[in-house]
Amino acid sequence: MDLSQTLLQLEQRLLSQATRRDAEKISNLLADDFIEFSASGSVWSKADVVDQLPHEPFFRRSISQFSIKSLSEESALATYLCRAESHDQSGVADSLRSSIWRKRGEQWQMVFHQGTLIPG
């Protein structure tokens, strides 16, 4: 599997309900020094995400326009468009997302993530 497919699968895993409800799964995908600048303007650490994400309402999300840029042999930048849909399909929210992934041994972990809402 190439790097693009690997990181796309990891991003999709982080958006899945099974992962978002499981603190251990979240913890395994995020580096200890992880930081997120959320679409709402909040700053989240790994501890914040592991503690709070399992209790957040779940919205199905899809990824399109996925692209990666290698930053080094052990790190890469992933960018994509994310669409979040409400449970009743009454609305959608699009955001631009970027993540930096770092490889330690055979495991990739996210070290940075940012989401920016697209108006309208």
**In this structure, what CATH number is given to the domain that contains residue 17?**
3.10.450.50
> What is the span of the domain harbouring residue 40?
3-117
Q: Are residues 116 and 95 in contact, defined by beta-carbon separation less than 8 angstroms?
A: yes
Q: So what's the pLDDT on residue 40?
A: 82
Q: So what's the pLDDT on residue 92?
A: 81
Q: Into how many domains does the chain fold?
A: 1
Q: So what's the pLDDT on residue 120?
A: 73
Q: So what's the pLDDT on residue 71?
A: 97
Q: So what's the pLDDT on residue 119?
A: 87
Q: So what's the pLDDT on residue 17?
A: 96
pLDDT per 10-residue tile (average), the chain, 120 residues: 95 97 98 94 96 93 97 97 77 91 96 92
Q: So what's the pLDDT on residue 60?
A: 92
Q: Are residues 15 and 1 in contact, defined by beta-carbon separation less than 8 angstroms?
A: no
Q: So what's the pLDDT on residue 2?
A: 94
Q: How far apart are CA 4 and CA 75, in angstroms?
A: 12
